[in-house]
Amino acid sequence: MFLRKMQLPLYLLLLVVWIPKSIFCQKQSDTEEQSPQANHGLAYHKIRLANSEFAGRLLKLLVSENPHKNVFFSPVSIATAFAMLSLGAKRATLTNLLEGLSFNLTELQEREIHKGFQDLVHLLNATNSEVQLESGNGLFINDQLELLQGFLDDVKNLYGAEVFATNFEDSEGAKKQINDYVDKKTHGKIPELIKELDSTTVMILINYIFFEGKWETSFNSSLTELQDFYVNDNTTVQVPMMMKREKLYYHHDDELYSSMVVLPYEGNAWLILVLPDEGKLEQALDAIITKKGISRSKFLEKRKVTIFLPRISISTSYNLEQLLPKIGIRDVFADDADLTGITTQFKLQVSKVLHKAALEVNENGTVAAAVTDTEIYRKIMAPPIIMNFNRPFIISLLDTKIHQHLFLGKIVDPSVKY
C-alpha cells in the first residue's frame, strides 16, 4: 500500500572521464551560426543564457558551502533533470522551479524552455568520432503508480527519457536495477549511485552525462613528477605534477584577478584552467560569477606556455535538497508541492536530490609528435609564460560546438579522491 503522501526521490547523476573539463559562457560566433548544427541550435539558444546564469549561481553556492573542499559538478545535468521534473509541476510550484533555474517567464514561455532542452539533448548526443559525449535521462516508476499519459509522452519526446517499471517494495531488486543502469551509462565510473532505497519511493529520475576526451597534444608521462601543492597557508601536499610546453591560448585578466589558459581536446571541447592571482581565490571566483564568466573573445592569440598541472582523480557527491532552497528552488521539497502533472493518484513531493560527479585528469591523449612544439617564426619574443597550478584553481569544460558548460569546479586539493 502507498502512503497518503508519497515521496519522490529525484537523483541527478553526472560523470566525466579521463581528461579535465572546461569553460564558461560564450558569445555566439559566426562559425557557430553557420555550423551543421544550426538548425538544432535555434531553440537551444533561447535557454543558453539562463543555463549559464544558473551555473554561476550554483557554483557560488557549492563553493560557499564547501570552502575547503574540492567542488565539481555538472550544471547542465542538474538543470536538465529539474526542467524535466517541471513537466509535472503546476501553478506556484512550476513557477518557483523554472524561476529557480534562472528563466524569466515574462520573456520565455514554458514550452520554449522545454523545446530548448529537447534541442540541447539532441546536440549533446550528436555523433562525433573525436569526443565521446553521452547524455540522457532515465525514469524509474513504481509499477503500481499510474502516471498521466501527457507527462510520459513529454518526458519521452522532449527529453528522450527511458522509462522503466520498478518494484520499489523489493528495495534490493530496485536498487540493483537502478545501479546497473547508472553503471552502464557511465561506463563503470559510478558503479553504485544508490546505497539505500526507501520502500515508499514511487519514482526516481536520473540524468547522466558522460564525457571522454583526448588532448590534442598529450602530456609526456616521463616528465610527471611529485611536487608540492599548496592547499592553503598551513597545508602542503605532494601530487604527481604533469608538465608540457606548447603554444596555447593564454590571457591574464586584471578584472578577474586571474590568468587563464586553454587546453584543447580533439574535437569540440576545451578545458579552460583559471589560476587566481596569489591570495585572490575568493575575489576571482566572485568576479568570474558576477561578470558572467569568461568570454572566448579574450583568447585572441597563442603564447608559448610552460604548464604544470596536477594529475587528478576526484569524486564529489551533493545532497541538493539541502542546498537548492538557498538559491530559490524550494517548492518541490515542501509538503504542499504541486506535482499533479505527474499523477493525480497520490500526493507527491521531492525528498532527495543526489548529484554525483567524477573527474579524471591525466596525461593521456593523441600522440602528436609530428606537431609538438613546432615553431617556424620567431618574432620579437614576449616573456615566456609559466602556469604552475600548484595552488587552488578553477576548472570548467565547454562544448565548443554549442557553447554550453558541461562541468564546473574548484580544485582545492588534488590529492583527495572523495
pLDDT tens digit string along 170-190?
Answer: 989 989 998 998 888 888 878
Find all residues with CB under 8 Å of 67, minimum gap 6, and list them: none
**CATH fold of the domain at 221-310+365-411:** Alpha-1-antitrypsin; domain 1 (2.30.39)
Domains 5-214+313-360 and 221-310+365-411 share a fold: no
Give the pLDDT confidence of 196-214 residue by residue, as tens digits.
Answer: 887 778 888 887 877 777 8
Q: What is the pLDDT along the chain (418 residues), one digit of tens a residue?
A: 333 343 333 333 333 332 222 223 333 443 333 344 445 568 999 999 899 899 989 999 999 999 899 998 889 888 998 999 999 999 999 999 999 999 999 999 999 999 999 999 888 876 566 767 778 888 888 888 888 999 999 999 998 888 888 898 898 998 999 899 888 888 887 888 888 887 778 888 887 877 777 888 889 889 999 999 999 999 999 999 999 999 999 988 898 999 999 888 888 888 889 999 998 999 998 888 887 666 666 777 889 999 999 988 888 888 888 899 999 999 988 888 899 999 888 788 787 787 888 788 888 632 222 222 222 223 344 567 999 999 999 998 878 777 777 888 999 999 987 6
Please choose, from the candidates 90, 72, 82, 7, the residue with its C-alpha nearest in 3D space to the C-alpha of residue 51: 82
CB burial readout 191-217, b (16+ within 10 A) else e: eebbeebeebbbbbbbbbbbbbbbbbb
Class of domain 5-214+313-360: alpha beta
Q: What are the boundaries of each domain within the chain?
A: 5-214+313-360, 221-310+365-411
Conformational region of residue 158, where left means phi above 0, alpha means psi within -120 to 50, and beta covers everything else: alpha
DSSP secondary structure, 232-292, as one string: SSS-EEEEEEEEEEEEEEEEEETTTTEEEEEEEBSSSEEEEEEEEPTT-HHHHHHHHHHTT
Q: For 258-262, which contacts have Cβ atoms below 8 Å and span 24 or more sequence positions? A: 258/284, 258/287, 258/288, 258/394, 259/387, 260/294, 260/298, 260/299, 261/305, 261/307, 261/385, 261/387, 262/22, 262/23, 262/299
The amino acid sitting at 111 is R
